[in-house]
Structure 1
């Protein structure tokens, strides 16, 4: 549905060229939700704007539903863009227009007749849960309601793809949760493919099937959401994970307990998360577990559990217990000793 091949974007400035996006490859399949996460200035916004050619790539190819966008004449490009909706952090609503009008005006500009415009506005206001606010003005709405209007406006053009540019970053946690639920509903019920950018790991956690980590304009790591949460390879990815589940043992705790021997992080994914494997290893190999920290992360497509454990016992017994856990599909990362 969306495919970028070796896409780079360079901005010219008086102080020299700035490479905002560098040699990016990504592929979003139909019906999936993919997320790009990175810190401010990493190149996220430039990247997503390259998808609908609001920013034209300096080099590389952009395919939408098999059509290479960068080669299209302007009139054909406009037609293709009608298949791509976009929502923004700042809502971009007309302050002097009602909710109904904010959604209707773009449809009128597309040349739809009055009856079709009204049918679509009513339909998508119902989907986003704002049927009773169609006569309100933006200054009478909460931040979450404004974002719902922006989503309804994008959906009313009945696109196949929805791009989300930090759509929840200006919202409080509860409102963010409701907007993410709405995006999941849009994806599942309308079959719309979604590509979003964010700096919030909880957004990736809740709705994404696949995730890309971007730094300095480059994709430094990517994979299914469950794989990245279970076994991040890059330091930046680990830092993002630490915002929702601490993966590092506090130095003060290590010093306080004077830990010796084996300290490991155990990662449980899928069936392993529901089995009493530590209890089995403890009983079978005569080792004593000291659990230092534990958390469970619920993702869109599964659960990842992390336990940091200090095993006490004879060395061979500890080695055998660790090997047993690995054989049962538990990820083991030795942290100390």
Structure 2
């Protein structure tokens, strides 16, 4: 659906050229929600603007649904952009226009007649649960409602792709969840492919099928969300996961608790998260697991549980218990103090 191949974008500056995106390859499948996560300055906003060529790459190709955008004339590019909706962090609404007019104005510019405009505005305001706010002005809306107007405006052009540029980062947690639920609904019911960028791992956790981790303009890890949450490989990915799940213990805490022996992280995937496997370990191997931290996360396509335990017992029995857990589909990793 979306293919970025060997994309590089360089910006000139007083102190020399700055490479914002460096030789990136990104493939987004039709109908999925793909998240790109990275810290500030990683190149996320530049990357997403390269998808619809609001930023033109210095090298590489952008292909949407089999059409290479980088090879199109300006006129044909404008037509292709009608298939790509975009929502932004700060909504970009017209302050002096009503909700109805904010959604209707772009449709008029596309040449739709009055009846078509009315039908689309009403349809998509209803989808975002703002059917009763047509005559309101942006100043009368909450932040979440403003973002819903922006989403309705993007959807009203009936795109095949929706780009989300940090669309929830200006919102409080409760409102963020409601907007993410709306994006899930749009993806499921309308079949729209969504590419979003974020610096919040909780956003990735809730709605993404696949994830790309961006650092210094390069993709350092690209995998399914389940794989990313259960077996992170790059240090940046692990840092992001630490923001929502304690996966390490400080050396001082290990010392304070006098944890001699084996301290292990256990990651349970899917059905194994609901199995009483530690009880079986106690019974089978006569070891004593001391639970230090525990949490469970619901991803879009599965459940992941994480425990950090201190195992007490004979070393050969500890080793056997870890082998047993591995055989049951549990990922085990020795924990070292930070």
How would you bin the TM-score normalised by the shorter chain? over 0.9
Which residue does the alignment assign to 1:192? 192
Aligned equivalents of 1:130, 1:267: Cα separation in 2: 41
- Report the 3-state secondary structure (helix = DSSP H, G, I; strand = E; otherwise coil) of the residue aligned with 2:169: coil
Aligned equivalents of 1:24, 1:155: Cα separation in 2: 28
Which residue does the alignment assign to 2:82? 82
Which residue does the alignment assign to 2:102? 102
Which residue does the alignment assign to 1:333? 333
Aligned equivalents of 2:103, 2:140: Cα separation in 1: 16
| Cα deviation digits, residues 81-133 of structure 1 (max 9, x gap) | 00000000010000111000000000000000010000000000000000111
Aligned equivalents of 1:207, 1:195: Cα separation in 2: 11
Aligned equivalents of 2:142, 2:322: Cα separation in 1: 52
Structure 1: give runs of 5+ residues left out of the alignment: none
Deviates more, 1:269-278 or 1:291-300: 269-278
CA contact (8 A) 1:85 1:161 kept: yes
- Given the alignment of the two structures, is residue 49 of structure 1 paired with residue 53 of structure 2, yes or no? no
- Report the 3-state secondary structure (helix = DSSP H, G, I; strand = E; otherwise coil) of the residue aligned with 2:118: helix
- Given the alignment of the two structures, is residue 120 of structure 1 paired with residue 130 of structure 2, yes or no? no
Which residue does the alignment assign to 1:175? 175
Aligned equivalents of 1:161, 1:242: Cα separation in 2: 31
CA contact (8 A) 2:249 2:336 kept: no
Shift of 1:205: 0.5
CA contact (8 A) 2:248 2:335 kept: no
- Alignment root-mean-square deviation, CA: 1.0
| Cα deviation digits, residues 5-44 of structure 1 (max 9, x gap) | 1111011122111100011111111110000000111000
Which residue does the alignment assign to 1:314? 314
Which residue does the alignment assign to 2:295? 295
- Given the alignment of the two structures, is residue 6 of structure 1 paired with residue 9 of structure 2, yes or no? no
Aligned equivalents of 1:80, 1:184: Cα separation in 2: 24
| Cα deviation digits, residues 285-327 of structure 1 (max 9, x gap) | 1111111111101100001111111111111111111111111
Which residue does the alignment assign to 1:240? 240
1:336–1:248 CA distance, 2 compared to 1 (3 A): closer
CA contact (8 A) 1:261 1:336 kept: no
Which residue does the alignment assign to 1:31? 31
Structure 2: give runs of 5+ residues left out of the alignment: none
Aligned residues: 337
Shift of 1:67: 0.3
Deviates more, 1:250-259 or 1:230-239: 250-259
Aligned equivalents of 2:291, 2:282: Cα separation in 1: 12
Give 4+ residue runs of structure 1 displaced > 4 Å after superposition: none
The normalised TM-score by structure 1 is 0.98
CA contact (8 A) 1:7 1:25 kept: yes
Shift of 1:336: 4.6
Shift of 1:255: 1.3
Query: 1:201-240, aligned counterparts within 5 Å?
Result: 201-240=201-240
- Report the 3-state secondary structure (helix = DSSP H, G, I; strand = E; otherwise coil) of the residue aligned with 1:219: strand
CA contact (8 A) 2:41 2:216 kept: yes
CA contact (8 A) 1:262 1:336 kept: no
CA contact (8 A) 1:164 1:197 kept: yes
CA contact (8 A) 1:88 1:167 kept: yes
CA contact (8 A) 1:95 1:137 kept: yes
| Cα deviation digits, residues 168-187 of structure 1 (max 9, x gap) | 00000010000000000000
Shift of 1:261: 1.1
Query: 1:252-263, aligned counterparts within 5 Å?
Result: 252-263=252-263
Which residue does the alignment assign to 2:93? 93
1:15–1:82 CA distance, 2 compared to 1 (3 A): same
Aligned equivalents of 1:141, 1:313: Cα separation in 2: 60
Query: 1:161-172, aligned counterparts within 5 Å?
Result: 161-172=161-172
Aligned equivalents of 1:166, 1:92: Cα separation in 2: 13
